[in-house]
Amino acid sequence: MKNIGLAAVSFAAMSCALIAQPAFAQSTSADDDLIEIGGDRSARPAIADVPAIDAPVESPSAISVPSDPVGMARKRAPMALTENDELLLDRLKSKDMVHRLRGIDVPFRLLPPQGGQPDASIWHKGPMPSKTLLARLRTTTLSEAATTIATTAGETGELRLAEASWRSTGDPKPTYAQTGLLYCARDAQIGGRKTDSAAINLCLVDEDRDGIFDAYMGAEGDAKGTVHSLYLVGPPLPLAAPLAYTVDKANSLVSTAEWHTCGKDWDLPYFRPYLLEGEVEIGAPSRIDPRRQGTYCDKAELASALVPVEKGATTAKLGALGFEIGSKRQGAKATVRELYQPDQIYREEDGKVVPMSVGMTPTHVQLATAQEFDQRPYKFNGDATLEEAKFGKGDVFLTMGFDHGYTGVVTADIKIRTLLSSRTVSAGTPVYGVPAEQRQVLVNYYGGETILGPPIKRAVNTAIVWCLPVREEEEVLNQRREPTGEIKIIWSATCLPTNSAGNHTVLKDQSPALAVRNMRMDAAISTNDGPPPVNEAKVADFGAPMSFRYRVSNMGGRLVTLTEELMLGDEVTSTKEVLTMILGSEAPFTAGGGKFLLKIVEGKETDEPVFQIEKLTDMQVGESAPITGVDFAALLRALAAQR
């Protein structure tokens, strides 16, 4: 059966299985339909084993803002920027930086296959063959721009850049128009030489299309790849002296596309088209080892219009190329016969040749989500208490007041009826919002899960899920089920998610009460028509100030474990652990936009260490209030990218 999930995002997720993995899920039978908040599609551990994941909507790491953004920009740019520091600072300030990032594509075309193609066979039986190369093609940029620059390192030479195009991400608050002509370079080379001063990804923009570059922009893309893997640019920074340029089609920025067999099948083989930097000779051995390039392959399609020449052969469309595939008895030799749609334009994506017609890259989607949901879910409100004296384990050392970034009020009574009960939320109830992405999962009878939908995310499917904290008092009973006279306070959240049909429900007993991170619900749950009746409001009053409170709970090896308590007034509504990494005798962390050091001043090797906090930079109202700890998922992704 289908499962629906809502995932609180760090680029948000809702679904018939949602993006951040669920740490808190409703108990369900094996064939339940679910909606869940939270998760990461690249790693799906069992539900019970998944840690809770915070859900701030962060911008992509394309252009991070250093403490001296103007100085860093001048250092990174290979050419001189305007002397107007105030103008540069205005364009590089951290506030609203997500609205100064822009999506781009750097397209290319495939050239018809040349003679002397590899003597290759389709993988159709046995282990993967040692030679997987099926075809090799050269590529061409749409056009190239050439300009002469004098670098800040005193070099003078020609810089060649590939034509690029703007990719709209639907930014509701754009800071500049996407109208100029754009040309980009990866690991830019001056005069054909790569130097320390020029080894940078950049784009130059001709804002008024008069043949003169007016501004420089830093560019980001895949960790490895060609210029065609650049996806994002930062704000345009005016040049000290405009650069005249010429445009031609010399195709000096050549790349090479290679088709490889990567899955076992004969008539509809699995393949992967790679893009390589530079021109590779047709007969040269391939530098690609498909065994080390991941497992995601494309599946061929029928090529009914392509008639095979040899007896017993078949034809197949492997992306942009038509192949004749010899009979199995003859070894399934692959011969490239045709280049389909020679005017089709492509880009590089994770090392692959991908048609631009598929839409946004996952990075573009991430940026679009951040631009649409640009508020921090838990914003520092300026009320902070920092322990200045020494302290030990278990002592409170930091309290950060916060307000929710998204708040609203229920405008009409909501009542969900079932056969045995009903769930109600009254009009006038204040609520807070969590950006979440919806997706569906299929849960089988043995507890296994399959995420439904496309394997690569190319569209924004994110919305606000409204929640409210609920406080309940429960009488404590002894072992004989007799009242003890004591009362236990239980905090939870009631949320108002929508299913894939756009109808809303009331979902009780979610957690944490003031910061729901994960959610899941049965796809067959009772619903009311349409979205929940909630209007956004500037303030949601939950009866007392809200804050994050921190203590050191444990220290071992290279990690310090902090206990984070989410407070409503003097009551603890939830707790979780935050890990920070020890560097020497210090554990750096950030909170409220400020940078701090948790210093171990005494007893590092004992069970009772003594700590002290050093503040490196001030906190800023409106920044994300919680302490940012070690993101192990990000560390693993970075390590994987470096392989």
The answer to whether residue 9 scores a pLDDT higher than 50 is no
CA–CA gap between residue 460 and residue 337 (Å, rounded): 38
The answer to whether residue 326 scores a pLDDT higher than 80 is yes
The answer to whether residue 573 scores a pLDDT higher than 90 is yes
Residues 491 and 612 in one domain: no
What local confidence, expressed as pLDDT, does residue 123 receive? 93
CB 318 within 8 A of CB 298: yes
Paired residues of 105 in beta bridges: 165
Residues 442 and 506 in one domain: yes
Q: What are phi and psi of 21, to 5 degrees?
A: -65, 145
- Of the pLDDT bands very low, low, confident and very high (cuts 50, 70, 90), residue 462 is confident
Select from 478, 502, 537 the last residue of a domain.
537
What local confidence, expressed as pLDDT, does residue 322 receive? 96
Residues 630 and 518 in one domain: no
Residue 59 lies in a domain: no
Cα 460 to chain centroid, rounded: 12
- How many other C-beta atoms can be found within 10 angstroms of the C-beta atom of residue 291? 10
Residue 606 lies in a domain: yes
What local confidence, expressed as pLDDT, does residue 334 receive? 94
Looking at the 3D structure of the chain, how many domains does it have?
3
pLDDT tens for residues 138-193? 999 999 999 998 876 777 888 999 999 999 999 999 988 888 999 999 987 665 55
Residues 154 and 178 in one domain: yes
Tokens standing for 386? 């920092």
Residues 402 and 486 in one domain: yes
Q: For 70-76, what is the mean pLDDT?
A: 89
What local confidence, expressed as pLDDT, does residue 346 receive? 97
Closest to 69 measured CA to CA, from 85, 52, 53, 80: 85
Write out the H or E segment, with its range, that includes residue 202: strand 202-206
32 vs 472, more confident: 472
What local confidence, expressed as pLDDT, does residue 22 receive? 25
Q: Which pTM was predicted?
A: 0.81
Select from 537, 559, 582 the last residue of a domain.
537
CB 522 within 8 A of CB 486: no
Select from 480, 515, 537 the last residue of a domain.
537
Share of the chain above pLDDT 70, in %: 84
Q: What is the mean pLDDT of the chain?
A: 84
Residues 553 and 596 in one domain: yes
Residues 500 and 554 in one domain: no
CB 99 within 8 A of CB 172: no
What local confidence, expressed as pLDDT, does residue 296 receive? 73
What local confidence, expressed as pLDDT, does residue 635 receive? 56
Closest to 362 measured CA to CA, from 37, 30, 60, 14: 60
Residue 483 lies in a domain: yes
- Judged by phi (left if over 0) then psi (alpha if -120 to 50, else beta), residue 332 lies in left
Question: Strand, helix or coil at 70?
Answer: helix
Q: For 636-642, what is the mean pLDDT?
A: 54
Q: For 322-349, what is the mean pLDDT?
A: 94
Residues 528 and 403 in one domain: yes
Kindly tell me the sign of the dihedral angle through the C-alpha atoms of 525, 527, 533, 536: positive
CA–CA gap between residue 165 and residue 182 (Å, rounded): 6
Question: Strand, helix or coil at 270?
Answer: strand
Q: Which amino acid is at 285?
A: P
pLDDT tens for residues 395-447? 999 999 999 999 999 999 999 987 777 899 999 999 999 998 887 777 776 76
What local confidence, expressed as pLDDT, does residue 639 receive? 54
The answer to whether residue 198 scores a pLDDT higher than 50 is no
The answer to whether residue 548 scores a pLDDT higher than 90 is yes
Residue 420 lies in a domain: yes
By residue range, what is the domain housing residue 171?
A: 144-189
Count, residues in the chain: 643
pLDDT tens for residues 12-37? 222 222 222 222 222 223 223 233 33
What local confidence, expressed as pLDDT, does residue 32 receive? 30
- Of the pLDDT bands very low, low, confident and very high (cuts 50, 70, 90), residue 638 is low
Residues 395 and 524 in one domain: yes
- Of the pLDDT bands very low, low, confident and very high (cuts 50, 70, 90), residue 634 is low
What local confidence, expressed as pLDDT, does residue 1 receive? 34
Residues 510 and 564 in one domain: no
Give burial (CB, 10 Å; 0-12/13-18/19+) of 136. buried
Q: For 220-228, what is the mean pLDDT?
A: 91
344 vs 27, more confident: 344
Residue 178 lies in a domain: yes
End-to-end, the C-alpha distance of the chain in Å comes to: 39
Residues 459 and 562 in one domain: no
Q: For 61-87, what is the mean pLDDT?
A: 79
Closest to 519 measured CA to CA, from 533, 507, 535, 530: 507
pLDDT tens for residues 365-391? 999 999 999 999 999 999 999 999 999
Give, in order, the Cα–Cα distances in Å from 623 to each of 2, 97, 111, 399, 628: 38, 13, 49, 15, 12
614 vs 499, more confident: 614
Residues 520 and 556 in one domain: no
- Could you write out the DSSP letters of every residue in 122-182? ---SSSPPS--EEEEEEEEES-EEEEEEEBTTS-EEEEEEEEEEEE----SS-SS-S-SEE
Write out the H or E segment, with its range, that includes residue 74: helix 69-76
Q: Which residues contact 557 (CB under 8 A, 6 or more apart)?
A: 582
What local confidence, expressed as pLDDT, does residue 13 receive? 27
Tokens standing for 301? 């399609």
Share of the chain above pLDDT 90, in %: 60
CA–CA gap between residue 95 and residue 374 (Å, rounded): 10
Residue 291 lies in a domain: no
Give, in order, the Cα–Cα distances in Å from 567 to each of 7, 115, 405, 542: 23, 71, 17, 12
- Of the pLDDT bands very low, low, confident and very high (cuts 50, 70, 90), residue 89 is very high
Residue given tokens 């305007």 in the structure block? 82
CB 610 within 8 A of CB 602: yes
CB 485 within 8 A of CB 493: no
pLDDT tens for residues 94-141? 788 999 999 999 999 999 999 889 888 999 999 888 889 999 999 999
Q: How many CA atoms lie within 13 A of 564 on its CB side?
A: 22
CA–CA gap between residue 574 and residue 515 (Å, rounded): 9
Residue 104 lies in a domain: no
Residue 436 lies in a domain: yes
